[in-house]
């Protein structure tokens, strides 16, 4: 099993596909086999966990509902022993897990069935890529953003304690009581901190979930996956995430 989620360009990654539907599992395997990925397959979470503990795996693609061990249990068991091993989850409308919960429990990407196979492949390429290259700000020049927000905060620690903002391996939660952006919206953000080692988080991202209801412990807001980070903040963010060693991809609060 790998010790980090990044796979260097030119290397072939090993993908574990966990799906009880043979036709879908075979179709996904075909996509990656034709691009020279190494494929491992399992029909449920129990089989998959046994494979993870005895083989090198770079990314897991798993359904949620499966007889013989579901994807939620697999996610929790894998993250308990390897917090940064990338996991992509396939969720149906009958699933017991929301997108927000999946990202908070450690999933790196979430797809609702049926999903576009090209988008799945591109998501895996992003997941196994080097963070410095994946979040490079130069690729954002042609991306039109539909929502912009700016925050001036005392420090990242104070922001987290006040449930104003929180950061995970791949994105941030932002508290917002006004109109919320839609899921899938490309947003730009400029967050500055008055103290601490992290001075700013600036760039673009994609809204992955929103929460309209507000409680003291779970304020209204939305989760953003990083798409690009500015040259001035990218390395700071990468170093902070590495020091955190958290399983959470986008925090729920």
Same domain, 163 and 220: yes
Give tens-digit pLDDT for 186-239: 999 999 999 988 999 999 999 999 999 888 889 999 999 999 999 999 999 999
What per-residue confidence (pLDDT) applies to 94? 67
Residue bearing tokens 């494929």: 39
Paired sense of beta strands 59-63 and 38-42, if any: unpaired
| pTM over the 0.95 mark | no
Top-confidence residue, 46 or 113: 46
What per-residue confidence (pLDDT) applies to 144? 78
Residue 236 lies in a domain: yes
Same domain, 121 and 223: no
> CA-CA distance, 214 to 189, in Å (whole number)?
22
Whether the CB-CB separation of 61 and 88 falls below 8 Å is answered with: yes
Same domain, 31 and 112: yes
Question: Rounded to 5 degrees, what are φ and ψ at 244?
Answer: -75, -35
> CA-CA distance, 119 to 4, in Å (whole number)?
23
Residue 143 lies in a domain: yes
What integer is the mean pLDDT of 155-183? 94
For the CA atoms of 124, 125, 129, 132, what is the dihedral angle to 10 degrees? Answer: -110
Whether the CB-CB separation of 155 and 194 falls below 8 Å is answered with: yes
pLDDT of 4 higher than 90: no
Residue 108 lies in a domain: yes
User: Residue 229 belongs to a domain with what CATH number?
Assistant: 2.40.10.220
What integer is the mean pLDDT of 174-180? 91
Q: Could you tell me if residue 196 is left (phi over 0), alpha (psi between -120 and 50 degrees) or otherwise beta?
A: left
- Other C-beta atoms closer than 10 Å to the C-beta of 33 total 13
Paired sense of beta strands 14-18 and 171-175, if any: unpaired
Domain end among 129, 160, 193: 129
Domain span at residue 237 reads 137-244
Length of the chain: 253
Domain end among 101, 129, 157: 129
What integer is the mean pLDDT of 108-125? 92
What integer is the mean pLDDT of 14-18? 97
């Amino acid at each position: 099993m790998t010790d980090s989620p990044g796979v260097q360009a030119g290397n072939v990654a090993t993908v574990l596909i966990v799906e009880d539907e043979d036709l879908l599992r075979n179709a996904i395997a075909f996509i990656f086999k034709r691009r020279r990925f190494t494929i491992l397959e399992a029909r449920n979470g129990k089989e998959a966990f046994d494979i993870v503990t005895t083989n090198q795996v770079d990314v897991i693609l798993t359904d949620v509902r499966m007889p013989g061990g579901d994807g939620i249990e697999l996610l929790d068991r894998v993250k308990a022993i390897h917090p940064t091993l990338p996991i992509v989850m396939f969720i149906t409308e009958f699933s017991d897990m929301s997108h927000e919960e999946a990202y908070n429990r450690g999933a790196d990407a979430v797809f609702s069935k049926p999903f576009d196979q090209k988008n799945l492949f591109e998501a895996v390429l992003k997941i196994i890529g080097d963070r410095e290259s994946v979040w490079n700000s130069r690729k954002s020049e042609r991306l039109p953003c539909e929502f912009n927000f700016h925050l001036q905060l005392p420090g990242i620690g104070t922001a987290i304690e006040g449930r104003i903002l929180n950061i995970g391996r791949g994105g941030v939660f932002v508290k917002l009581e006004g109109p919320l952006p839609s899921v899938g919206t490309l947003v730009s953000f400029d967050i500055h901190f008055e103290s601490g080692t992290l001075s700013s988080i600036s760039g673009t991202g994609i809204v992955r979930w929103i929460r309209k209801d507000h409680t003291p412990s779970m304020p209204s807001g939305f989760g953003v996956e990083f798409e690009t980070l500015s040259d001035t903040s990218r390395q700071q963010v990468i170093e902070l995430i590495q020091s955190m060693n958290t399983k959470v991809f986008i925090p729920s609060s």
